[in-house]
């Protein structure tokens, strides 16, 4: 993981789950939360374009705040999509219940967008990852019990696969970390691509 540890790393997100994923691969990032207006589902953007745009806004806002610096700056955004509908974080318990009822017994997509900025050169790369998730059929009682834990309220699609809602997931097709909120395989490729770009410019 030499590419990941050469330079200072900044996570432009308040997400504890994204921080945990980075720590799992040996990165101890500085966390700087981006204060930006995010594009919303009603903007008409497709899910992959929506999360990529929001990741870009977060990363670029923090990069602008820091100025030229020897660091990687990473922004990310995640949504759930089903039948043309985009589910972000629920507004309240009733909204969380609605989302879980819609996902029950169905296969949906989780999209995570990431933007990586080279703080020294200003170069950036934005990409999105999609993972398909198959849910078990959930009855009203277990949906209510899960919503009552409060866990769904700060998670796209109203569930966290890495926590209690892991019992709802029958199978996934794609990258597990995309569902948690930060695609580690995609991050590796983005770091490699930007590092190659640096080398080609004589750095």
Q: From first to last of the 203 residues of the chain, give the pLDDT tens digit.
A: 445 556 899 999 999 999 999 999 999 999 999 889 888 877 789 999 999 999 999 999 999 999 999 999 999 999 999 998 999 999 999 999 999 999 999 999 999 999 999 999 999 999 999 999 999 999 999 999 999 999 999 999 999 999 899 999 999 999 999 999 999 999 999 999 998 766 555 54
Task: Give the residue among 174, 154, 175, 173 at the shortest CA–CA distance from 165.
Answer: 154
What is the model's pLDDT at position 1? Answer: 45
Other CB atoms within a 10 A radius of the CB of residue 38 amount to 15
| Structural element, H or E, at residue 199 | helix 184-200
What is the model's pLDDT at position 149? Answer: 95
What is the model's pLDDT at position 203? Answer: 46
Rounded Cα distance between 19 and 72, Å, is 14
Q: Which residues are catalytic?
A: 77
DSSP structure class, residue 166:
G
Q: What is the pLDDT of residues 119-161, one digit of tens each?
A: 999 999 999 999 999 999 999 999 999 999 999 999 999 999 9
Please, what are the domains in the chain? 2-200 (3.90.950.10)
What is the model's pLDDT at position 37? Answer: 86
Residue 59 Cα distances to 23, 65, 163, 177, angstroms:
19, 10, 27, 19
Pairing of the two strands 30-31 and 124-135: unpaired
Cα angle: 116, vertex 175, 186; to 5 degrees? 20
What is the model's pLDDT at position 197? Answer: 64
- For the four alpha carbons of 187, 193, 194 and 199, in that order, the dihedral sign comes to positive
Rounded Cα distance between 175 and 25, Å, is 15
pTM of the model: 0.91
What is the model's pLDDT at position 201? Answer: 53
Task: Give the residue among 84, 90, 83 at the shortest CA–CA distance from 159.
Answer: 90
CB 182, CB 76: distance < 8 Å = yes
């Amino acid at each position: 993981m030499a590419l990941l540890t050469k330079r200072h790393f900044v996570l432009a997100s308040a997400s504890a789950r994204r921080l945990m994923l980075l720590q799992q691969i040996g990165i101890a990032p500085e966390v700087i939360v981006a204060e930006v207006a995010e594009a919303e589902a009603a903007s008409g953007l497709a899910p992959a374009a929506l999360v990529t745009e929001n990741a870009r806004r977060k990363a670029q806002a923090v990069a602008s705040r820091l100025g030229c610096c020897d660091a990687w700056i990473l922004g990310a955004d995640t949504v759930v999509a089903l039948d043309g509908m985009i589910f972000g974080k629920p507004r309240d318990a009733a909204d969380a219940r609605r989302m879980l009822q819609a996902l029950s017994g169905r296969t949906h997509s989780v999209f995570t967008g990431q933007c990586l900025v080279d703080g020294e050169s200003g170069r950036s790369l934005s990409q999105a990852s999609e993972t398909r998730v198959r849910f078990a059929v959930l009855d009203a009682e277990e949906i209510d019990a899960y919503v009552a834990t409060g866990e769904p309220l700060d998670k796209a699609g109203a569930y966290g696969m890495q926590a209690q809602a892991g019992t709802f997931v029958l199978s996934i097709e794609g990258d597990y970390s995309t569902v948690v909120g930060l695609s580690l395989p995609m991050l590796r490729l983005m770091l490699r691509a930007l590092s190659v770009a640096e080398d080609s410019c004589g750095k």
